[in-house]
Amino acid sequence: MNRILQDLVNLLDIERLEDNLFRGQSRDLGGRSVFGGQVISQALVAASRTADDISQPHSLHAYFLRPGDMSKPIVYEVDRVRDGRSFTTRRVQAIQSGQPILTMMTSFQHDEPGLEHQQPMPDVQPPEKLRSARDLYDEWIQAVPDLPDRIFHALTRELAIEFKPVVPWNPLAPEVKPPQQKIWFRAAGTLPDDPMLHRCVLAYASDFNLLSTAVRPHGRTWFDEKMTIASIDHALWFHRDLRVDDWLLYSMDAPTAQGGRGFNRGLIYDRSGRLVASVTQENLMRETG
């Protein structure tokens, strides 16, 4: 496990203040505010610590209400909405300076058998035959003189998650492309055999790259100073057990954009082709200049 992944594991080990009250810290990933995936994953940890040990989360639905301040801790307040025989429901508020920055509902379920089917995994090159995003960024940066510090640090910062795009797309020289992308990803090291931890790290990773899908057909990126691009909401369904420290394929598309908003969808498969999770997200993509 690399140093940054260990830091993420530590970041997810949030502090318990009271039975239903927790506190987490933040890390700067080069954006203008707290990374949304961090808040979602910490909120999921908070909810899980008020549920029984035999339940696993199967879905979460979150709204981003305000930008988070990376210099301040985040307090997570959990409402124990329902404890049923099969399903457990929790509401979580993430709070900074007395104001909610995120509200989230999440549901847990005891494991049970049932009918199964799934959409097949796309036929793509395996990760071993693809270049890493880090190698691609290093190459693209060399071609851009006087790159702003914020963008340089965002692209060169060491991350807890590794990425390998199936078809690379250079955010420093964006081309108009269809609103689709496929990216292999995994945790940058081996994680403990804790199913809850793997789901929380997947929740963290699911917020990378997704919103950029909707801006591809417009030749824009989140680096564009004339655009305001941010997540509005995020929903995630866990379908099957998974390991996030082995390669997972994130297959994304954005079927529509309108009214200053883009709508993004993602299917996450493991290497054997099992569909392990699905994601949807609406994002703000407002022209400001």
48, 96, 231, 278: the catalytic one is 231
**Structural contact between residues 236 and 244, judged by C-beta atoms closer than 8 angstroms:** no
38, 107, 207, 270: the catalytic one is 207
**Structural contact between residues 23 and 15, judged by C-beta atoms closer than 8 angstroms:** yes
Helices (H), the chain: 3-12, 36-48, 133-142, 149-156, 195-205, 212-215
Distance CA 283, CA 233 (A): 7
Which of 183, 145, 178, 151 lies closest to 164, judged by CA? 183
Distance CA 104, CA 49 (A): 15
**Structural contact between residues 221 and 275, judged by C-beta atoms closer than 8 angstroms:** no
| Residue 175: C-alpha distances to residues 218, 221, 231, 260, 261 (Å) | 8, 10, 22, 20, 20
96, 206, 278, 281: the catalytic one is 281
User: Would residue 281 show up in a list of annotated catalytic residues for this protein?
Assistant: yes
Distance CA 64, CA 230 (A): 9
Angle between helices 36-48 and 3-12 (to 10 degrees): 50
The catalytic residues are 207, 231, 281
